[in-house]
Amino acid sequence: MENYKILKTLPSKDYELIDSGDGEKLERFGEYVLRRPDPQALWGKGLDEKEWKKANASFVREGDNAKWRMKDGIHKEWIISMGDLKFFIKPTAFKHTGLFPEQEPNWTWIQEKIKKSKENPLRLTRTNHSEEIPRTSLTRSVKVLNLFGYTGGATLAALKAGAEVTHIDGSKSAITWARQNAEASKLEDKKVHWIEEDARKFVQREIKRGNKYDAIIMDPPAFGHGANNEVWKIEEDFIKLLESCGQILSDNPLFMIVNGYSAGYSAVAYENSLKEITKNLGGNIEIGELTIEESKSGRLLPAGIFARWFK
């Protein structure tokens, strides 16, 4: 398939996937190395166990309990850079760190699409002379909706590119974390609306209000809860939400991105779903896998799927 792509997050100054295998991954976030489970790592490890034991923190399961085992000296939270963005890293009770590094290629793509749209100068016509005059001071305003926005990686990327962003998440703590990331990235003064709400309810209200967006990004979980404990099940709610999002796209939209981490769904399934929503808009659809490249071996760790429509 020509439109099938493997996106790679490469090692950088503040992040690298050092090794993976036997259901685990070994990563460096800034100055600290973390060891945590990853069911995609089906192969054997490349490094000896003694190297893995050097990790500053390890996520371990003890019976029915799971927790981070932290070595002395490691901070509970710290800041790292990815590209031109900054993120607070905070190991959580669910093995996450608040950052999904595999999304970095998507963030770069988002910035490129928004910047390109804003670089095209608007042109006005003088009615008295019928003379077309370039007005480089007038650029397109781009409105982005980020659903299930979590700690705000895509939001920060869009803000950095000059877009106005509405960030939706059902978790107050996630929105607080996203705002901290925006402040760390010096983007707190940009046009952003932080809204704690169920994604489905918000989109339905936007339909009634007649509000439109030039780009929509969503990272729907397999299962979750909204701001008022509304239950989300991807098998029941995803298509209905996607169809509703089609109703709030602007007359000249830029893109839609759907990211997936749910077992049992493929990028092709997301492609077919996006085709239905965008069939009258023209444009193109790319699909594929999100991966992280190991710094030592170059081996790729699968980390999710994506589908994105764009003009």
Mean pLDDT over residues 118-141, rounded?
A: 53
- Give yes or no for a contact between 35 and 58, defined as CB atoms under 8 angstroms apart: yes
Q: What is the pLDDT of residue 232?
A: 82
State the average pLDDT for the chain.
92
pLDDT given at position 123: 40
Asked whether residue 40 carries a pLDDT value surpassing 50, the answer given is: yes
Confidence of residue 136 (pLDDT cuts 50, 70, 90): very low
What average pLDDT score do residues 118-143 get?
57
The percentage of the chain sitting over the pLDDT mark of 70, rounded to a whole number, equals: 93
Q: pLDDT tens-digit profile of 148-200?
A: 999 999 999 999 999 999 999 999 999 999 999 999 999 999 999 999 999 99
Task: Taking residues 272-296, report their average pLDDT.
Answer: 96
Q: What is the pLDDT of residue 193?
A: 98
Model pLDDT, residue 227:
80
Mean pLDDT across the stretch 60-87?
94
pLDDT value, residue 133: 43
Superfamily of domain 4-310 in CATH is Vaccinia Virus protein VP39 (3.40.50.150)
Q: Is the pLDDT of residue 296 over 80?
A: yes
Query: What pTM was estimated for this model as a whole?
Result: 0.92
pLDDT of res. 137? 47
Q: Domain coordinates of the chain in residue numbers?
A: 4-310
